[in-house]
Amino acid sequence: MKIIKPNKLKKGNTIGILAISGRIKDFENIEKAKSFFEEEGYKVVISETCKSSHRYMAGLNDDECINELHKFFSDKNIDVILCARGGYGTLRLIDKIDWELIKNNPKIFAGYSDITTLLNLIYKKTGLITFHSAMPNGDFSKVIDDYTKAAFFNTLEGKTICYHAYNSSIFKEGEAVGKLWGGNLSTLCALCGTNFIPNEDLILFLEDLNEPVYKIDKMLTQLFNIAKLRKSVRGIAIGEFKDIEDKNQLDEVILELANKLNIPICDGFKITHNKIKDTLPIGIKVYFNANAGIIKILEEYCK
């Protein structure tokens, strides 16, 4: 697959805030995020779906979300697409997306949580590097954490070289090289049954929130029952499973997985629903060292 690298974020660029997942309950959050980016020196466009909703999802319906997604990619004046929030909704869109339109109009596309669906499918279907990043509704509408802010801008400006784990537990020692890939565990599991796994060696990163240990166990088992994934994953970088009720049980589950797969695994990365988070490019070649708790980017991911 030919890799497509988006243009780096630059001062003066236009950031499009796009709601295609959960509904925006408080539009004031989007306005606050808009003010933040404008104060940082960027122009901002807000999708119509930030102002409309159906049930628990953004937009009047799925078609409006698809139309806004296509419009934002087609619009030459929009340089970056930043998803407004997670929630639920992107899985409903995947059979309607014009992948060729995205491939022919490459630009930074970023978000996390439910947006994991599109981050990984866009990379799989088009080769475009996407970004697991902070989002307007939950991050940039508040006083943004300094670490999160620096990680966001440094990565989208093409400056990030390495990610470090903190207070890391090593479940299996070792080193590996592969394409950085992953995101929210429950969202990845929702893609099972679709053609979503790249034909490449992978360094998988995972995070989630509000999930009991038995469900995390079930989801990991579901993913790694897929022979292609077992064959492709060369190492696993664990972020945070936020609000876990029994960390010791979770560690047991991950240790069992490490011994079963016999690949390097460690935790402690700032990949999380928490306020302090890294921004990571999906689809780029990295070196992973579980002993040292590092992910090192091996090639440029923006141009």
**What average pLDDT score do residues 16-35 get?**
97
Residues 194 and 218 in one domain: yes
What's the rounded Cα separation, in Å, for the pair 301 and 303?
A: 7
Q: Are residues 132 and 264 in the same domain?
A: no
Q: Is the residue at 5 inside a domain?
A: no
Q: Can you give 57-83 as a three-state secondary structure string?
A: EECCCHHHHHHHHHHHHHCCCCCEEEE
Query: How would you classify the pairing of strands 202-209 and 265-266?
Result: unpaired
Asked which of 110, 125, 156 is the last residue of a domain, the reply is: 156
Distance spanning both ends of the chain, measured CA to CA: 18
Task: Write the CATH number for 67.
Answer: 3.40.50.10740
Residues 150 and 48 in one domain: yes
pLDDT of residue 1: 83
- How confident is the model over 169-187, as pLDDT tens digits? 999 999 999 999 999 999 9
Kindly state whether residue 117 falls inside one of the protein's structural domains. yes
| Domain-located, residue 118 | yes
Q: Which of 207, 211, 232, 240 is catalytic?
A: 207
Same domain, yes or no, for 143 and 230?
no
Whether residue 303 lies inside any domain: the answer is no
Q: In the chain, count H helices and then E strands.
A: 9, 16
Is residue 101 within 8 Å of 73, Cβ to Cβ?
yes
Is residue 266 scored above 90 in pLDDT? yes
Q: Are residues 108 and 191 in the same domain?
A: no
Provide the edge-to-edge strand list for the sheet that holds 130-132.
Answer: 43-46, 14-18, 80-83, 108-111, 130-132, 280-282
Determine the structural domain holding residue 274 and report its residue range: 162-297
In this prediction, residues 237-252 reach a mean pLDDT of 96
From 47, 52, 53, 113, the catalytic residue: 113
CB atoms inside a 10 Å sphere around CB 210: 12
Q: Is 47 a catalytic residue?
A: no
Tally of domains in the chain: 2
Q: pLDDT digit string (tens) for 115-126?
A: 999 999 999 999
pLDDT at 136 (0 to 100): 97
- Tell me, yes or no, if 132 is annotated catalytic: no
Residues 166 and 116 in one domain: no
* Active site (annotated) includes residue 207: yes
